[in-house]
Copies of this chain bind each other. A is one copy, B any other.
Amino acid sequence: MSETSHPSESAGADLRRAAEPTRKFERQLPDDRRRELVAATIRCLAREGHDGLSIRRIAQEAGVSIGLINHHFPSKTALVAEAYRSLAHSLSGVFAAALAEAPPGPRARLSAYFAASFSDANLDPDILHIWTVFWSLSRHQPEVAEVHHETYRATLELLTRLIGDLTAEAGLADIDPALSAIGLNAMLDGLWLEWCLNPRTFSPAEGLRLCERWVDQMILGAGQPLARCPG
């Protein structure tokens, strides 16, 4: 709000008087303003990490004054939790869209999930950067931790359903879909984490291959004691 303010794009209606004082600010519906502030929070987090998580920088990023944030959010923590929720929701949308366009059949749907995992929308160091800040906050801020638990549970439920469909189709009764989902999700998270921390260690294609192989071997190995396989 300092020198390069751009308070409104609707300049046309103001031309009726040349000397008319420009509007100092524009009122918005609380819901819209809240969304704007959350988006600005995520941008600041992506750009500056923990250092960006400051009322002053977020206000500047959103083009509003310092005091406005505490008018719409009771505290900084509440704003952060809302930003966490928002980012998690937006990312889950990426996966939902990928699954919606996937060919039928549980195996193909899993592949679509993997492809979304290793897409540019997900493999973004900025996003890991944001996530690590949320994680580090979740330790002492129950409101933030709660968001993580919701998010993780939803992801596990989705993966459990995908694996359950696959094992049901293949008639594999001795696989526990819930536990397998935990393992598969762990590998996805770990690959995502390490790739974001150092993209040169392996390629997205290699990560994808590891996940596909994980599923194939889960099917292959089911119900077969080690000794029974020929070789």
Interface pick from A1-9, A76-84, A90-98, A223-231: A223-231
- Inter-chain contacts of A73 with B (CB < 8 A): none
- Inter-chain contacts of A190 with B (CB < 8 A): 185-191, 193
Complex Cα gap A213–B217 (Å): 10
Q: How far is the CB of A202 from chain B (nearest CB, A)?
A: 5
Interface pick from A19-27, A31-39, A134-142: A134-142
Q: Is A50 an interface residue (CB 8 A)?
A: yes
Complex Cα gap A183–B136 (Å): 25
Q: Is A210 an interface residue (CB 8 A)?
A: yes
Q: Given known contacts A140-B49, A189-B193, is B210 in contact with A179 (CB within 8 Å)?
A: yes
Interface pick from A10-18, A61-69, A108-116, A125-133: A125-133
Q: Assess whether B191 is in contact with A183, with CB atoms less than 8 Å apart.
A: yes
Q: How many residues of A contact B (CB 8 A)?
A: 55
Over the window 139-179 of chain A, the binary record of Cβ atoms lying under 8 Å from chain B Cβ atoms (1 yes, 0 no) is 11000010011001000100000000000000000000001
Complex Cα gap A138–B214 (Å): 30
- Inter-chain contacts of A138 with B (CB < 8 A): 197
Q: Assess whether B182 is in contact with A202, with CB atoms less than 8 Å apart.
A: yes
Q: Assess whether A132 is in contact with B136, with CB atoms less than 8 Å apart.
A: yes
Q: Is A198 an interface residue (CB 8 A)?
A: yes
Q: Given known contacts A216-B221, A229-B229, is B152 in contact with A125 (CB within 8 Å)?
A: no
Q: How far is the CB of A162 from chain B (nearest CB, A)?
A: 17
Q: Assess whether A186 is in contact with B185, with CB atoms less than 8 Å apart.
A: no
Q: Assess whether A187 is in contact with B183, with CB atoms less than 8 Å apart.
A: yes
Q: Assess whether B185 is in contact with A139, with CB atoms less than 8 Å apart.
A: no
Over the window 182-216 of chain A, the binary record of Cβ atoms lying under 8 Å from chain B Cβ atoms (1 yes, 0 no) is 11011111110110011001100011011001101
Q: Assess whether A139 is in contact with B152, with CB atoms less than 8 Å apart.
A: no
Q: Assess whether A198 is in contact with B136, with CB atoms less than 8 Å apart.
A: no
A-B complex: 8 closest residue pairs judged by Cβ atoms: A186-B190, A190-B190, A189-B190, A183-B210, A132-B136, A187-B187, A217-B221, A217-B217
11 A-B residue pairings within 8 Å (CB atoms): A50-B137, A51-B140, A148-B197, A182-B207, A183-B191, A187-B187, A213-B221, A217-B218, A219-B226, A220-B226, A221-B221
